Amino acid sequence: MSANPLAAAEPWDLVADGYAEFAPAVMQPFSARALEFAGLTPGSRVVDVAAGTGMLSLLAAPRVASVAAIDFSAPMIARLNAAADAAGVTNIEATVGDGQALPFPDDGFDAGFSMFGLMFFPERAKGFAELFRVLRPGATAVVSSWAPVLESPLMRMMFGAFHAADPSIQEPQPNYLSLENPEVFETEMRGAGFEAVSIQRHSTSLRFAGADEMWETMVRSSAPLVLMRRSVGETVWAERVEAMRAYLTEHYRPGHPLSTTAFLGIGHKPEA
């Protein structure tokens, strides 16, 4: 078992509705960028591991033959299916399952992705190995992970609010053993067998009409906040909400862009 509570499905189950509604503004630019690296064609078969509500799957589907989306959170997959139905998309097959043990045969996909998902796996090496296994020789994989919080004003603002609510929560320091470290990222991808690996930095900026809008976006789509609410109970949570909103009101200038940065790891399965 991993110590990271986000390695379990439950917090993601609880946040799925808000994630579908509020996360695209932050997350979708990274999926759009990831798709640019994969050389997709109308015949491509794509796999989206830890697909969530389908950020990447829904962008990819109109350009390719098929998308296999998988996530261990059933509510996330339910939201993905609802969004696909609403958009009239019929070529996504979504499955509830673990990204560390993919229920797909070897060599079956032309491109594979895991956007901000594999980074949470307790056994990342299995996540990379499984992605490698299900790709055909010559296929491309793109995996994303957040850069250190220090490099992301949007994340720093969020952690500032968390700290205001609970002074025991500190801004996370860079973890050089994780995918926050591009060297570790590259080594782990190579270790799974990928070649011509490169780690690219990508940033996106968000503007909010004001602190209230920023708060709504945070609270509805953030799994760590869902966990905080559950662990402290409703009375303390109400006090914390007040403290977090007050922090954002004081520190966020309406309309000001806040950037956030991720690393995209791109690798290729060697030709047979």
Ligand X SMILES: C[S@@+](CC[C@H](N)C(=O)[O-])C[C@H]1O[C@@H](n2cnc3c(N)ncnc32)[C@H](O)[C@@H]1O
Bridge partners (DSSP) of residue 46 are 67, 111
Listed ranges 95-103, 233-241, 243-251, 253-261: which one lies at the site for ligand X (CB under 6 A): 95-103
According to CB under 6 A, which one of 18, 20, 22, 23 is a site residue for ligand X? Answer: 23
According to CB under 6 A, which one of 20, 22, 29, 31 is a site residue for ligand X? Answer: 31
* Chain center to CA of 272: 31
Helix (H), strand (E) at residue 262 = strand 258-268
Given the complex with ligand X, which of 164 and 199 has the nearer CB atom? 199
What is the closest distance, in whole angstroms, from the C-beta atom of residue 45 to ligand X in the complex? 18
Given the complex with ligand X, which of 50 and 135 has the nearer CB atom? 50
Q: Does 142 bind ligand X (CB under 6 A)?
A: no
Q: Does 120 bind ligand X (CB under 6 A)?
A: yes
Q: Which of 34, 236, 3 is nearest to 142 (CA)?
A: 34
On the 0-12 / 13-18 / 19+ scale of CB atoms within 10 A, 20 is buried
Map residues 155-184 to x or -, x wherever contact with ligand X holds by CB under 6 A: ------------------------------
According to CB under 6 A, which one of 104, 121, 132, 263 is a site residue for ligand X? Answer: 121
Helices (H), 61-196: 74-86, 124-134, 153-165, 182-191
Q: Running DSSP on this structure, what letter comes out for residue 10?
A: H
Helices (H), 37-123: 55-60, 74-86
According to CB under 6 A, which one of 37, 58, 98, 229 is a site residue for ligand X? Answer: 98
Q: Which residue is nearest to ligand X (CB)?
A: 52
272: how many CB neighbours lie within 10 A of its CB? 7
At residue 222, φ and ψ (nearest 5 deg) are -100, 115
Given the complex with ligand X, which of 60 and 161 has the nearer CB atom? 60
Q: Does 50 bind ligand X (CB under 6 A)?
A: yes
Q: Does 188 bind ligand X (CB under 6 A)?
A: no
According to CB under 6 A, which one of 18, 99, 153, 265 is a site residue for ligand X? Answer: 99
Q: How far apart are CA 218 and CA 19, in angstroms?
A: 10
Contacts of ligand X in 221-250 (CB under 6 A):
none
Compute the CA torsion angle 261, 4, 68, 27 (nearest 10 deg). -20
Residues of this chain that bind ligand X (CB under 6 A): 9, 12, 23, 27, 31, 50-52, 55-56, 71-73, 76, 98-100, 115-117, 120-121
